[in-house]
Structure 1
Amino acid sequence: MDLTGVFVPLITPFDAHGDVAVDALIRLAYETLEDGATGLVALGTTAEPGSLTPAEQDAVVDAIGRVCEERGAPMIVGAGRAAATRRPVAAALVMVPPFVRAGEAGVEAYFARLAADSAVPLIVYHIPYRTGQQLSPPALRRIAQLPNIAGIKYATGRVDADTLALLASAPTGFSVLAGDDVVLAPLLAMGAHGGILASAHLSTHRYARLVAAWRDGDVPTARELGLPLAHLSHMVFAEPNPTVVKGVLHAQGRIPTPDVRLPLLPAAPSNVDAVLALLD
């Protein structure tokens, strides 16, 4: 499977009554695809899946899946709901088991079992600063070689020798997708295939151009875009994700409220205004 480009992990908009604003979600899905996104992620962490009921999760997947199916775009599904939809699913996004620190052998066995049982390919979500489990390049390489593993959302919080080792040894057909928005440009320069990027709700076309520029060897354009987008990403994550993104989308009139569900709180107006000023 070729997972190349910008994948936007869509937020879950809420209406004034606190319910999922499905119509706004559908509009947002259309907008991001029309603005250059390769595909969409339903129920990624940006969607606050832990605060949604199973019925709300299913409604979110169905809404995004309907748009992706109509536009011929791939949909990636997280939060264990990939099997709960009748819409086409390109891959399931599965986090390295958090908190338990199972060790590399345990994580490898976990993904081997999931991949064998899954009806769709898996994307490994490696985010050690949340899971408490760091994986070495050899362990990631062994996981990448498992059947039915399509790629990795790589969010280690840094670009280092381990990153280079993974990118240099990734097997054919295995996609490395940036998961830390602020380091998208250096990861692309090192050979990453794209990214799953919350910041790409905003200025989607510029993120898409950045990925295309590195893919096409257009280094001047890539350099021109990389730094301002890194700055935008840094500002978007000034508060817990997706609070700033929602604040900006609401201020732009794209979603009915900036509301998030506890334990998150809405972003400070100053942080929202700073991003709006940068976008202007």
Structure 2
Amino acid sequence: MTPTLYVPLVTPFAADGSVAYDALERLARDLLADGAGGLVALGTTGEPASLGEGERQRVAEVVGRVCREGGARFVVGAGDGRGGTGSWAVAPDAVLVSVPAFVRPGEAGVVAHFADVAARSALPIVVYHVPFRTGQPLTARTLRELAAIPGVTGVKHAVGCVDADTVDLLGDRPAGFDVLAGDDVFAPALLALGATGLVTASAHLDTAAWAKLAATGDRGLGHRLAAQAAALFREPNPTVIKAALHAQGRIPTAAVRLPLLPASPQSLARVRLGT
């Protein structure tokens, strides 16, 4: 089966600082038309912590509706799940739930946490494993324990490298458990090792090329896209991506909300804006 390309959407803002829902809908439709197989609303790239509850609900509704009309997969970020996995106007195919940040509960605590969240959720759960942000590493053994929890269907794997645990997990992936490459620079490498999908914010640009990579695993293409991803992540996500989208005329502003600051012109200059 061809790995699925998911794009975790930015949340565009208008000149007055409000959410530009019309631009969000256009962007979502363009990404699907260019080859994305699924979209993620309210992931880290969407700045969910900076949105009000009403804004989060409407963003999810817009993205969910576009996905349903386009026959694409729809995933919603639900934080660490301690407040539940949400009630959405358009039911997602899965919710993305992060390992609890800052508290560093230990690997056994992480397993207990996800067992509790899954028991209370009516929706399938994809674990968001990003130790750079959470401070909590997980071994391949622990990830397999998470895969054994009913209702946990995959992991967005974003460890910032290709380490021994990554190789171990992909070398003996649990049946029915998706391993989605979630660190853009390393996504082509994880795809070559057997990742079942990609969750790449960089695919806002060159979407068709990322879709081709998912379908073919082309090594040269993977090198080019990894280099572009490195340029897009020179400053905190999604600042450079928003600057690039605005430079292309695809969103009305490059604005982000505090505590993020807009990307510098120097970082934008490193991004290849052509298609």
What's the TM-score, normalizing by structure 1?
0.94
Q: Superposition RMSD on alpha carbons, in Å? A: 1.4
Tell me the equivalent position of 1:217. none
Measured after TM superposition, the shift of residue 69 of structure 1 is 1.0
Q: Secondary structure at the match of 1:6?
A: strand
Q: Secondary structure at the match of 2:271?
A: helix
Query: 2:76 touches 2:96 (CA, 8 Å); kept in 1?
Result: yes
- Larger helix percent: 1
Measured after TM superposition, the shift of residue 272 of structure 1 is 1.4
Query: 1:154 touches 1:176 (CA, 8 Å); kept in 2?
Result: yes
Query: 2:85 touches 2:121 (CA, 8 Å); kept in 1?
Result: no
Measured after TM superposition, the shift of residue 170 of structure 1 is 1.7
Tell me the equivalent position of 1:218. none
1:231-262 superposed Cα distances (whole Å, 9 cap, x missing partner):
00000001100000000100111000000001
Q: For the residues of structure 2 that align with 1:152 and 1:224, how far apart are their CA atoms?
A: 26
Q: 1:119 to 1:4 in 2, by over 3 A?
A: farther
Tell me the equivalent position of 1:234. 230
Tell me the equivalent position of 1:61. 60
Q: 1:88 to 1:72 in 2, by over 3 A?
A: farther
Q: For the residues of structure 1 that align with 2:152 and 2:211, how far apart are their CA atoms?
A: 24
Query: 1:26 touches 1:67 (CA, 8 Å); kept in 2?
Result: yes
Q: For the residues of structure 1 that align with 2:7 and 2:256, how far apart are their CA atoms?
A: 18
Tell me the equivalent position of 1:219. none
Q: Which amino acid aligns with 1:150?
A: T
- List gaps (5 residues or longer) in structure 2: none
Query: 2:203 touches 2:210 (CA, 8 Å); kept in 1?
Result: yes
Q: Which amino acid aligns with 1:18?
A: G
Tell me the equivalent position of 1:10. 9
* Structure 1 runs (4+) greater than 2 angstroms displaced: 79-84
Query: 1:177 touches 1:196 (CA, 8 Å); kept in 2?
Result: yes
How many residues get paired? 271
1:180-239 superposed Cα distances (whole Å, 9 cap, x missing partner):
10011110111001211110000001011001103xxxxxxx112011101000000011
1:87-110 superposed Cα distances (whole Å, 9 cap, x missing partner):
131100000011101111111011
What's the TM-score, normalizing by structure 2?
0.95
Measured after TM superposition, the shift of residue 39 of structure 1 is 0.4
- Identical counterparts, % of pairs: 54
Tell me the equivalent position of 2:221. 225
Query: 1:4 touches 1:38 (CA, 8 Å); kept in 2?
Result: no
Q: For the residues of structure 2 that align with 1:180 and 1:122, how far apart are their CA atoms?
A: 19
Partner residue of 1:107 out of 75, 95, 110: 110
Tell me the equivalent position of 2:92. 89
Query: 1:144 touches 1:170 (CA, 8 Å); kept in 2?
Result: no
Partner residue of 1:151 out of 146, 151, 154: 154
Query: 1:141 touches 1:169 (CA, 8 Å); kept in 2?
Result: no
Q: 1:73 to 1:152 in 2, by over 3 A?
A: same
Q: Which amino acid aligns with 2:216?
A: A
